[in-house]
Amino acid sequence: DFDVHHGNGTEEIIRQLVPTVEKAAVRMPFAVGEFATPKYRPWLDESDVNNVFFASTHGYGPRGIEFADTPAAGWFYPASGKTHVADAIANPSIVESPSTSEFILSQSWTRLGEDARANCCKIINCGLGLPRPDAVSGMQRLEVRDTYRQKILPRLREFDPDIIFISAGFDAHKRDTMNFGYVGMVEDDYEWVTEQLVRIANTCCNGRIVSVLEGGYKIHGGIVSPFARSVASHVRALADGGRSRELYDSDSGKWESQFERHIVEERERKRQQKIDKLRQAAEQQRQSLFGSGEDGAGEGHSTRKR
C-alpha cells in the first residue's frame, strides 16, 4: 500500500486472521458486567496468519515540522501506522504459533497477550515524516525509495508470495495538497516502486500482480494532471515489467541507492556554488557602485566638513 494514508483497513482485515476476544464493559445502576465477543475471520484455514504479508508506506507525524518533537506525533490521518516491523517477520523464532490441533481444541490463540497478538501477523508499517526546513532537495524521495529497498522488498522476496495486490493510491504526489507535505513522490517514483514490485512478482509468482486504484486528488489539468501522469507511469511499469520478465536483484538496489544519493548531493553542491557566486557578484556590484562601507563613511564626513 503506497497511498499517503496508512492502510489501516487492510491491516485490520489481516489482524482478523488471528482469533481475538473483544471485551466491553457494561455499567448498570446495581451491577457492572462485561461482554466478551470472540472474533475470528479466516480466509482459508488456520494457517492464513502465516501466509499473508502486508506492507504500508505512508505519512505519519505532526501537523507541521515545528511540532515534530512533541509527544502527539500521530496527527496525520488516520494517525496510525507508526514505523514497526512485526516479530513474525523480523524475528519469527520468538513468535508463539500453536499447532492446528491445539488451535482447534484449546483455542490457545485467544489467550495470547496483546503484544504477542500484535506481532504474530506479517505486517510492516513505514511511517514517513515531514522533511526538515533545511533538508536537501530530493532527499525526501530518496527516503521513500530506500524504505522499500531496505525494509520492504527484501522481506517480501523472502516471504515468496503467490500473488501480489497493490493498493495504488497517488495522493502522496508532491503536488497533491491532500498530503500536507508528507512523502512527496513524483511520477518517476511511482514508476520505480511499481517496477520493483513487478520484479518480485516475476521472481516469485510468475508475474501474478493485481493493482487497485485508490486515492489521488490533484486532477486539475486532465490528462496532464499529476494524478493522470502518476497513473500512466504506474500502468506503464506494470505493462513493461510484464513483457520484460525482469527479476528482482537486491544487490542492484544497493548500488542504485548509493548512486541516487550521490546525484542528490552533487546537485545540492552545485546549487550552493551557484548561490555563492551570485552572492559574490552582487557584493562586487554593490562595491563598484557605492565603494566599501569605510570609504562611504569617509566621503560623507568630508562632505559635511565642506
Q: pLDDT tens for residues 178-203?
A: 999 999 999 999 999 999 999 999 99
Q: In terms of Cα–Cα distance, which of 153, 174, 119, 136 is closest to 256?
A: 153
Which is more confident, 216 or 101? 216
Give the separation between CA 158 and CA 228, rounded to whole angstroms.
33
Count Cβ atoms within 10 A of the Cβ of residue 48 and give its class: 0-12 exposed, 13-18 middle, 19 or more buried: middle
pLDDT the model gives residue 306: 47
Map grid coordinates 522488498 to a residue: 153
pLDDT the model gives residue 104: 55
Which is more confident, 139 or 21? 139
Instruction: Encode pLDDT of 98-141 as tens digits.
Output: 665 665 555 566 666 677 777 889 999 999 999 988 889 899 99
Cα–chain-centroid distance for residue 156?
15
Give backbone dihedrals phi and psi of 3, rounded to 5 degrees, phi first.
-60, 150
Say yes or no to pLDDT of 39 above 60: yes
Residues 144-173, mean pLDDT to the nearest whole number: 97
Mean pLDDT of the chain: 87
pLDDT the model gives residue 215: 86
Give the separation between CA 246 and CA 203, rounded to whole angstroms.
8
Say yes or no to pLDDT of 156 above 90: yes
Question: Positive or negative CA dihedral for 38, 43, 46, 49?
Answer: negative
Q: In terms of Cα–Cα distance, which of 126, 266, 267, 133 is closest to 183?
A: 126
Give the separation between CA 184 and CA 134, rounded to whole angstroms.
16
CB atoms within 10 A of CB 153: 20
Instruction: Encode pLDDT of 54-74 as tens digits.
Output: 999 999 988 776 665 666 567
Angle made by CA atoms 85, 91, 92, in degrees to the nearest 5: 110
Say yes or no to pLDDT of 245 above 70: yes
Say yes or no to pLDDT of 28 above 50: yes
Q: Tell me the pLDDT band of 207, cut-offs 50, 70 and 90.
A: very high
Give the separation between CA 66 and CA 58, rounded to whole angstroms.
20
Say yes or no to pLDDT of 271 above 80: yes
